[in-house]
Amino acid sequence: MWSDLGFGDWNDKEKTIDDFVVSNNQDAERVLATVASTVMDFAEHYPNAVIYIEGSTPTRTRRYQMGISKYWNEINANFEVYGLIELQGFQRFVTGMNYQAFVVQKKKY
């Protein structure tokens, strides 16, 4: 099974969600909290799912990485986290490394 989740601003003219728009409305932390909440809810319903996370731009992927680092203790307590390094594949997440994408899976206790 494959699911895709996107975040962006509603484009009224095109009647689509634009995940490349830069709205500059100072809500980056709120967006990150929404993404985190959605991942946690999804993982509760599908505990065996592997969730792939990548921003629509490298800057947004970096923003996700900063959020993971900022809340690492809480995230690490509940999820296995791997970061993608080009030409090396996925490796356990380490703060301070730069990644192109992430995968997370709910820890099994």
Give the pairing of strands 79-85 and 101-106: antiparallel
- Which structural domain, as residue segments, surrounds residue 48? 27-106
Asked if the structure places residue 53 within a domain, the reply is yes
pLDDT for 80 beyond 70: yes
Bridge partners (DSSP) of residue 11 are 16
State how many domains the chain has.
1
Check residue 60 and give its pLDDT. Answer: 86
Check residue 10 and give its pLDDT. Answer: 77
CA–CA gap between residue 3 and residue 39 (Å, rounded): 12
The H helix count followed by the E strand count for the chain is 3, 6
Summarize pLDDT for 8-65 with one digit per residue, the tens.
677 788 888 776 667 667 767 887 888 888 889 999 999 999 999 998 889 889 988 9
Asked if the structure places residue 6 within a domain, the reply is no
Check residue 1 and give its pLDDT. Answer: 59
What is the widest separation between alpha-carbon atoms in the chain? 48
Check residue 71 and give its pLDDT. Answer: 92
Asked if the structure places residue 18 within a domain, the reply is no
Asked if the structure places residue 99 within a domain, the reply is yes
pTM: 0.81
Asked if the structure places residue 16 within a domain, the reply is no
